[in-house]
Amino acid sequence: MLFKPTIMLKNKILFIAIAFLQTHLASGQLFKKTSDSYSTVGIGAGSSHYFGDLSPYRSFYYGIYSNVRWNGTINYQVQLNPKFSARAAFTYARIFGNDATYGGKIADDKPAIKTQRLRNLHFRNDMMEFTVMGLYSFRPLDMRKRKGDGLQWSPYVGLGIGIASNNPKARGSILSNGSLQTTVQDWQSLRAMNNETPDKSYSSVVPVIPISLGLKTMITQNLILGVEG
């Protein structure tokens, strides 16, 4: 899960979408001769959160602050008309899971999490993702807004498709002469170990389906503020 606040510049229109921890800065130019059709280029960075066996959904709130990693992205978006836009994006994201640190000390009184910590598994996965998405605004912004006009709100949704690389890794440790001292090994690819099936590695490429929900408003003729998740 990636969280993305966004800043976009369209000619003299500044678009700011703030959603959790990722920030994009974009500059754009007119795509067509109308004020409703334009293009933007954006870059950003933020946080990545893993949910799965090492970060269970039943206590998902621990995954908001446990084992948080980072991501960076670049995107290109075209506003086709007042309601529809299209976006292509490339993202580098690092996710991480660790039984030993999931939930922090606040989770020590939960038996299920204690059992996971005894298991003591971990992994990291550095992923590269390419997606294309269509976005629909239920109430388009009026780009002719004048000073003194009230705020106008534009809710929007997005849906797309893409692919992502998949190469999880983990570190092994070797007990030294039966003592409590251990030697930590380098990160090793788990795909090469065939730990899903004994005779076949899982794919290094996986499909992804990005979904976006947002709300934006025009503060002035040159400033648009939005929230997107």
What's the pLDDT at 33? 42
Beta bridge partners of 93: 71, 127
Residue 90 near residue 128, CB atoms below 8 Å: yes
Instruction: Summarize pLDDT for 185-210 with one digit per residue, the tens.
Output: 888 888 878 777 777 778 889 999 99
* Residue-level pLDDT at 20: 39
CA-to-CA distance for 102 and 53, rounded, in angstroms? Answer: 11
Positions of the chain with pLDDT lower than 70, given as ranges = 1-36, 38, 143, 145-148, 174-182, 220-224, 226, 228
pLDDT score for 162 = 96
pLDDT at residue 176, rounded to an integer: 62
Residue 90 has a pLDDT of: 94
Sequence-distant (6+) residues with CB within 8 A of 93 are: 2, 48, 69, 70, 71, 126, 127, 128, 129
Tokens of 185: 């090994």
Distance separating alpha carbons of residues 170 and 147, to the nearest angstrom? 57
Distance CA 77, CA 86 (A): 6
Q: What is the pLDDT of residues 71-85, one digit of tens each?
A: 888 888 888 988 999
Compute φ and ψ for 204, nearest 5 degrees: -85, -5
| CA pair distance 38, 61, nearest whole angstrom | 39
